[in-house]
């Protein structure tokens, strides 16, 4: 499994990503396992790069709930 270290944005937990994308934490884990959403595994759990989450949401036609400006 190709996993990258978060480097472009803020690291997010699986629960934070799930809330932003409107998906369950289990679905986020499944997407990671399938290689569709990159994460870094740490002793405390998986971390997701904020920029990667934004790209994933854009590719799926979603807007994230944690980054609105208005």
pLDDT of residue 4: 47
Average pLDDT over residues 55-59: 93
> What's the maximum distance between 2 C-alpha atoms anywhere in the chain?
37
Cβ-in-10-Å burial (0-12, 13-18, 19+) of 62 comes to middle
Average pLDDT over residues 49-60: 93
pLDDT of residue 38: 95
The yes-or-no verdict on residue 56 having pLDDT over 90 is yes
Closest CA to 15 of 54, 55, 48: 48
What percentage of the chain has pLDDT greater than the value 90?
Answer: 67
Domain boundaries, the chain: 11-59
Inter-axis angle of helices 50-59 and 14-21, nearest 10: 30
pLDDT of residue 32: 96
Contacts of 44 (CB under 8 A, 6+ apart): none
């Amino acid at each position: 499994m190709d996993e990258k270290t978060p480097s472009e944005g803020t690291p997010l937990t699986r629960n934070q990503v799930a809330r932003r994308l409107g998906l369950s934490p289990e679905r986020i884990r499944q997407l990671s396992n399938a290689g569709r959403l990159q994460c870094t595994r740490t002793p405390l759990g998986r971390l997701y790069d904020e920029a990667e989450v934004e790209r994933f949401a854009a590719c799926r036609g979603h807007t994230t709930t944690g980054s609105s400006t208005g």
